[in-house]
A and B are shown apart, each in its own frame.
Chain A
Amino acid sequence: MDAIDRAIINNLQGGFPLSERPYAEAAASLGLDEDELIRRLEILLAQGTLTRFGPLYHAERLGGALTLAAMKPPPDDFERVARIVNGFPEVAHNYAREHEFNMWFVLATEWPERIGEVISEIEKATGYAVYNMPKLEEFFVGLRFEA
């Protein structure tokens, strides 16, 4: 990754033009030409530096739902619980964290009602309480990652 790749990543996280030639427009703002920008995006995607070039959706406004949930299984039972939780297709990602509440995962479901169902199913399968921590208010941040 060189300085041009870094400029692409730093400048194209928040906004991308909605115009007939969006790559040409974005490239111009970076001092590149269209072909060069497309070629570099292809390489960054192939290398896995980028997961994709495209949209991030707002689950609730698509009719689906997202929530953050936490559990605090005892450390000696953590692996078993993690395997069960990760086996649910609705679990989008899961992190082990340093705290009594040591497991934090995001649930993404196609229907709002499904969140409560999945939480009950996880509680039943693991034998531990799941704490639902849905967002009440979101504070939007700007640029995500500086390369």
Chain B
Amino acid sequence: MELNVIKHSVVSPHRPVVDEADRRLLAAIQHGLPLSSRPYAEIGARLGLSEQQVIARLQWLKEAGVIRRFGVVVRHHELGYASNAMVVWDVPDEQASELGRCLAGFDFITLCYRRPRRLPQWRFNLYCMIHGKSREEVMAHLEWMVNHCDLQTLPHAVLFSRRRFKQRGAVYALGER
């Protein structure tokens, strides 16, 4: 049984699907899975669940999309990805889904979202994040994308990061409700 990435989703209204037992389980692994031979059994022992119950519940939480993915979480700067740019596009709303799927297909794109415009200050509605080892690499990726997805005529802006102030990731107050 492999945990696979869901390919596409339209954001639905807030709809919590987890119960108290799920929250305890998610809290128990939020900082990492035990590095031991039977990690799900170890988690289960802490929570009073069997190994099979833990596995079945995690599988369900993955299918429900509560767990987006499961595996190594890398610190990209430490891997030499020093440069990142948020590239934003002003695309016709009716083309946004198709173009978003096209952009998301590149392996150098790490995030891709449609977001609202804030007119008149902000006209852009499609966002993607490109990571690269240098600015030149990021710009070469961008040129490749523009050609491949036929974006030549669409206005865009490239927002390179100058500085990262804070990267703690989201911390959830699980099990405290």
Contacts and interface: CB of A to CB of B under 8 A. Distances in A.
Interface of A: 8-9, 12-24, 34, 38, 41-42, 44-45, 47-66, 68, 70, 72, 82, 86, 91-99, 101-102, 104-106, 108, 110, 112, 131, 133-147
B172 A91 contact: no
B75 A50 contact: yes
Contacts, number: 273
Q: State the main secondary structure of chain A at its contact with B.
A: mixed
A24 B71 contact: no
A60 B74 CA distance: 23
Q: Does more than half of chain B's interface fall in helix, strand or loop, or is it mixed?
A: mixed
B21 interface: no
B33 to A, nearest CB: 5
B58 interface: yes
A14 to B, nearest CB: 5
A101 B68 contact: no
14 contacts: A13-B69, A14-B71, A18-B3, A18-B40, A18-B59, A20-B51, A50-B75, A57-B172, A63-B18, A98-B160, A104-B86, A108-B170, A136-B113, A139-B112
A139 B103 contact: yes
Interface string B1-29: 11111111111001111100001001001
A5 B110 CA distance: 21
Interface string B114-149: 111010011000010001000000000000000000
Contacts of B107: 141-143, 146
